[in-house]
């Protein structure tokens, strides 16, 4: 791989001393072995045939990172979802088809489409999201499809992890440039700009900064494909801190197709300099006018101290003496306390008394407010800026005189993209929390979001000739406007929700609850089937309960209406679904104490022993005996104490109470600690210190419902770019541990669940799919049928219905019946054939008929489950009560669990035989008054089984097993 001496010398001044990670990043070779092992296990999996069904929801969609429309036919759109794969619509968003479900790691960073030749377009896919968020999954390089996304060829760049932009040569299909951002949570040298001259068979790195600086954007001058601009971005993300800027961030130009590069944002250019230079977006107009959007993290100068009439703020109190505090106006102090959420018991008079007596220092009021989010949300930065160059990047000027506030806030790493309309160099679009446009080259800006448009914008296609035709991708899916944002329509048909959590209640039918990335908490019936019919009915089958980033959910089983849920960083509420009332219930620290630390996904748990009892984890375990109205801290700090940074750290991430014993509690933290209390929280012991790996995030702890001392723990190294699985079990309350991950393919483990009925049956959700173990973790088998390749963040098994509900982070919610798996104990698995008890099927006169001849008829379908220990030539016969064979099937079947579909259709000959059999039975039983059986042909020309009992007989070699099935 070639590295230009020019680049190495140029960047030597900016080289960083890479921090050595205590947890090494997983190499591409190890990741590839994990993907290969997953495929091998899938081919042998005894559970690969378990059918899953998507239960949506779809209306809130998920984060889009890139999109591309055909200028000649803009109804043909490719849409890349951050963790949901690449999809295609050919009808302007009315329907979609997934294109990357066959890839091992379908997470999207950028796409580029080559339409320079007749026929299907050539699609380039860069994997690994470029937004550097908490759940921005790492890709495995770049792919190319020569047939519009139907098949893919892998092109390498394996250690790229996150790809910012792909730029294609307009006439040479073999030339492409790729902006590689690199690892998210660890330094690596495989960053910068790469070039291929042979369609991706070989790559040359042509621009490199250092191990912590990658390339985030590329733009080509439309007048000359050899002239390109590249934006580099220095960033360093840790679990406790995100440094989203640095002096190595900048803009570079090449005039020879990438062979050599020059810095065009240097000290004399007019472009900002220094450690605050963050993510940069680029756009070039056909005239050559160049624009750059900048996330400027440079701190703003401190404003002058507030005038007395501006009221009291925490900054006026900071460093204040007790005497100065005593001179504060009581009414102003009271306003300060109330507006900042201090508990009602703290009044101006009581606080003044505590300060006068020396019980409290004025600084305590400041510290009460400054939690771990203060550096993230309370820091004044320059924020969004737009710069313009009219001379190819030699000099730059800021386009606007006044600051562009409330566009990026302090998290510009998530945004900073800009577009310029082809038809007008003064027409700009800036993507941030809002979407803005300028008609005068960036001097003035206006908001163009609106109804049906989510916030947080990441992708925008601007029609090259039709003014005002925009296609926008954001955290809430796809929007299209033809009026430059005056009106939008929403195109959210794919099930691509990014779920963090899932929960079920005990209603009939039961409801499914889930919390999503930036799309709140939703609830809907488990019998939901995806359809656009709700547009006629006027009410979507799922309903939003909470906004923000949706988090964990618990429901009171006594009424199925009392819901405990919330949004990020521990903001929880008790919701009455009937009235809609929501009461904040987050526990608070005391005045004089440092603020509690809450994880992004703060754990909660409702006791199965007494549902008035709710547990919640900050950096301590809290218990409420009255449904969250009041709280008691059961523990001290169960973490290593936190670390300084702009992300809360040293927080609890996992919390569970034993279903077998009240007060047997487990808690896990983001810094790798695991604790147990066996006395209701009065005392806690650290467990697993010597047996479990250090520094890994405890993603789940699960106390067994079958053995009191048994507990499962899943740990996760994702935030070190460690993609190995970590899963353990203890049989003695955590005193000793045994690894269960040896047979799991390499992928971080997010959740482990024990089946409520079968103690040997375990489920595990990883960043690369869903697995089951029939032997309590000795071996693992991936689910495969219907379930797309997506990260599984949470799982729940409905105790009554026997349904497994999986929450994926990118492909919404999926449900599978695991009633058959629950019956596969060790004795059942030793049988050559195990035939399951079948549920009754309800007969319908509508089978084969429809209310209109122009509509498809209703057709029944049953799945006949059977487990084979070794597999082979299997035959299946269904026999009536009188012995008439109504259906037969034979074929070669592998070992494992299978669901054989039968549509209940029979031949005319079989129908006559059943009619005769029924008449003979009537005669024998002397029941002539009963109407005779007539099996009529349905409108679709088929006949269907009548009511009655049937025997299903499975034969494998010399072994036969039978089960009874009834149509009632």
Cα separation, 108 vs 136, whole angstroms: 9
Cα separation, 275 vs 289, whole angstroms: 27
Counting other chains too, the contacts that 346-352 makes at CB distance below 8 Å and 24 or more residues apart are 346/591, 351/591, 352/325, 352/326, 352/328
Q: What is the pLDDT of residue 535?
A: 85
Cα separation, 569 vs 545, whole angstroms: 17
Helix pair angle (348-356, 330-339), 10° resolution: 110
CA distances from 762 to 380, 474, 729, 753 (A): 48, 36, 11, 6
State the residue for tokens 């380039």: 124
Cα 872 versus chain centre, distance: 40
Cα separation, 159 vs 27, whole angstroms: 8
* Contact yes or no for 64/82 (Cβ under 8 A): yes
Secondary structure letter of residue 546 according to DSSP = E
* Contact yes or no for 144/165 (Cβ under 8 A): no
* Contact yes or no for 754/770 (Cβ under 8 A): no
* Contact yes or no for 543/493 (Cβ under 8 A): no
* Contact yes or no for 420/428 (Cβ under 8 A): yes
> Mean pLDDT in each 10-residue stretch from start to end of the chain (968 residues)?
33 40 92 94 95 96 98 98 98 97 94 95 98 94 98 97 98 97 97 98 98 98 98 97 97 98 98 98 98 96 57 89 92 92 90 92 89 68 97 98 94 96 98 98 97 96 97 98 97 97 98 98 94 87 96 98 97 96 95 93 98 98 98 98 93 98 98 98 97 97 98 98 98 98 96 98 97 98 93 98 98 98 96 96 94 88 96 97 96 96 97 93 72 91 96 97 97
Q: Is 641 helix (H, G, I), strand (E, B) or coil?
A: coil
Q: What is the pLDDT of residue 187?
A: 97
Query: Pairing between strand 417-420 and 428-431?
Result: antiparallel
CA dihedral 545, 546, 550, 555 (to 10 degrees): -50
Cα separation, 446 vs 428, whole angstroms: 11
Cα separation, 893 vs 913, whole angstroms: 30
Cα separation, 717 vs 702, whole angstroms: 19
Cα 111 versus chain centre, distance: 20
Q: What is the pLDDT of residue 310?
A: 62
Q: How many residues does the structure list for the chain?
A: 968
Exposed, middle or buried, 43 (CB in 10 Å: 0-12/13-18/19+)?
A: exposed
Q: What is the pLDDT of residue 371?
A: 75
Cα separation, 490 vs 522, whole angstroms: 19
Task: Enumerate residues 6+ apart whose C-beta is below 8 A from 687.
Answer: 674, 675, 676, 730, 733, 734, 735
- The DSSP annotation for 81-144 comes to ETTTEEEEESSTTS--EES-TTSS---EEEEEEE-SSSSSPEEEEEES-SS--TT------EEE
| pLDDT tens column, 411-458 | 999 999 999 999 999 999 999 999 999 999 999 999 999 999 999 999
First and final C-alpha spacing in the chain:
70
């Amino acid at each position: 791989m070639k590295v230009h001496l020019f680049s190495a010398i140029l960047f030597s001044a900016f080289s960083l001393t890479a921090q050595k990670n205590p947890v090494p990043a997983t190499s591409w070779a190890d990741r590839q072995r994990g993907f290969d092992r997953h495929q091998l296990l899938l081919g042998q999996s005894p559970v690969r045939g378990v059918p899953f069904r998507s239960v949506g929801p779809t209306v809130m969609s998920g984060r889009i990172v890139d999109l591309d429309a055909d200028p000649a036919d803009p109804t043909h759109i490719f849409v890349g979802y951050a963790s949901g794969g690449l999809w295609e619509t050919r009808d302007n968003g009315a329907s979609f088809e997934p294109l990357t479900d066959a890839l091992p790691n379908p997470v999207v960073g950028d796409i580029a489409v080559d339409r320079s030749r007749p026929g299907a377009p050539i699609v380039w896919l860069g994997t690994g999201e470029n937004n550097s968020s908490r759940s921005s999954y790492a890709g495995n390089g770049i792919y190319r499809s020569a047939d519009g996304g139907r098949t893919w060829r892998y092109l390498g760049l394996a250690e790229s992890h996150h790809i910012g932009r792909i730029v294609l040569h307009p006439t040479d299909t073999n030339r492409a440039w790729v902006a590689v951002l690199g690892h998210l949570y660890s330094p690596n040298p495989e960053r910068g700009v790469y070039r291929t001259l042979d369609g991706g068979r070989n790559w040359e790195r042509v621009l490199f900064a250092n191990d912590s600086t990658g390339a985030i954007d590329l733009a080509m001058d439309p007048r000359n494909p050899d002239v390109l601009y590249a934006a580099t971005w220095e960033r360093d993300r840790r679990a406790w801190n995100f440094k989203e800027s640095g002096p190595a961030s900048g803009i570079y130009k090449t005039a020879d197709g990438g062979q050599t590069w020059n810095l065009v944002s240097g000290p004399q250019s007019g472009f900002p300099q220094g450690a605050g230079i963050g993510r940069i977006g680029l756009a070039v107009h056909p005239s050559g006018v160049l624009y750059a959007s900048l996330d400027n993290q440079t701190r703003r100068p401190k404003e002058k101290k507030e005038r007395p009439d501006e009221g009291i703020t925490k900054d006026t109190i900071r460093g204040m003496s007790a005497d100065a505090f005593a001179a504060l106006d009581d009414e102003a102090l009271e306003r300060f306390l109330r507006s900042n959420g201090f508990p009602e018991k703290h009044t101006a008079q009581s606080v003044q008394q505590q300060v006068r007596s020396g019980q409290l220092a004025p600084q305590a009021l400041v510290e009460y407010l400054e939690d771990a989010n203060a550096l993230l949300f309370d820091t004044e930065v320059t924020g969004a800026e737009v710069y313009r160059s009219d001379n190819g990047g030699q000099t730059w000027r800021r386009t606007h005189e006044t600051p562009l506030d409330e566009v990026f806030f302090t998290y510009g790493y998530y945004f900073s993209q800009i577009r310029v309309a082809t038809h007008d160099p003064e027409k700009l679009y800036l993507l941030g929390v809002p979407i803005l446009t300028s008609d005068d080259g960036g001097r003035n800006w206006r908001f163009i979001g609106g109804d049906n448009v989510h916030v947080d914008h990441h992708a925008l296609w601007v029609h090259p000739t039709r003014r005002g035709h925009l296609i926008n991708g954001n955290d809430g899916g796809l929007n299209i406007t033809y009026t430059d944002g005056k009106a939008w329509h929403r195109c959210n048909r794919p099930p691509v929700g990014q779920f963090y959590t899932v929960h079920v209640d005990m209603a009939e039918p039961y409801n499914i609850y889930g919390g999503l990335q930036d799309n709140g908490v939703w609830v809907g019936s488990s019998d939901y089937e995806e359809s656009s019919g709700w547009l006629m009915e006027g009410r979507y089958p799922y309903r939003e309960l909470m906004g923000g980033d949706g988090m964990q959910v618990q429901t009171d089983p006594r009424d199925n209406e009392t819901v405990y849920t919330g949004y990020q960083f521990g903001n929880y509420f008790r919701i009455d679904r009937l009235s809609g009332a929501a009461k904040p219930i987050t526990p608070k620290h005391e005045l004089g104490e440092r603020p509690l630390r809450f994880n992004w996904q703060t754990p909660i748990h409702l006791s199965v022993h007494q549902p008035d009892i709710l547990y919640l984890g900050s950096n301590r375990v809290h218990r409420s005996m009255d449904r969250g109205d009041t709280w008691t801290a059961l523990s001290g700090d169960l973490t290593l104490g936190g670390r300084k940074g702009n992300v809360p750290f040293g927080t609890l991430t996992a919390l569970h109470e034993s279903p077998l014993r009240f007060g047997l509690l487990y808690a896990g933290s983001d810094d790798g600690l695991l604790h147990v209390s066996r006395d209701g929280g009065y005392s806690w012991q650290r467990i697993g210190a010597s047996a479990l790996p250090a520094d890994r995030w405890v993603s789940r702890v699960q106390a067994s419902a079958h053995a009191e001392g048994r507990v499962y723990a899943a740990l996760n190294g994702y935030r070190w770019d460690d993609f190995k699985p970590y899963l353990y079990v203890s049989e003695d309350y955590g005193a000793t541990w045994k690894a269960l991950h040896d047979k799991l393919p390499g992928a971080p483990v997010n959740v482990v669940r024990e089946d409520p009925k079968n103690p040997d049956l375990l489920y595990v959700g990883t960043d690369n799919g869903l697995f089951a173990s029939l032997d309590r973790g000795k071996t693992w088998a991936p689910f495969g049928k219907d379930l797309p390749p997506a990260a599984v963040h949470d799982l729940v098994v409905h105790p009554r219905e026997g349904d497994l509900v999986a929450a994926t982070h990118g492909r919404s919610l999926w449900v599978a019946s695991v009633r058959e798996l629950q019956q596969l104990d060790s004795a059942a698995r030793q049988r050559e054939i195990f035939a399951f008890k079948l549920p009754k099927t309800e007969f319908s006169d509508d089978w084969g008929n429809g209310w209109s001849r122009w509509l498809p008829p209703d057709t029944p379908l049953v799945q006949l489950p059977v487990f084979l220990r070794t597999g082979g030539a299997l035959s299946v016969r269904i026999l009536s009560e009188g012995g008439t064979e109504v259906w037969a099937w034979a074929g070669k079947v592998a070992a494992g669990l299978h669901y054989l579909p039968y549509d209940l259709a029979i031949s005319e000959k079989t129908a006559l035989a059943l009619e005769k059999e029924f008449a003979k039975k009537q005669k024998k039983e002397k029941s002539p008054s009963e109407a005779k059986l007539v099996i009529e042909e349905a409108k679709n020309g088929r006949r269907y089984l009548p009511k009655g009992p049937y025997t299903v007989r499975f034969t494998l070699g010399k072994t036969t097993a039978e089960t009874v099935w009834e149509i009632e």
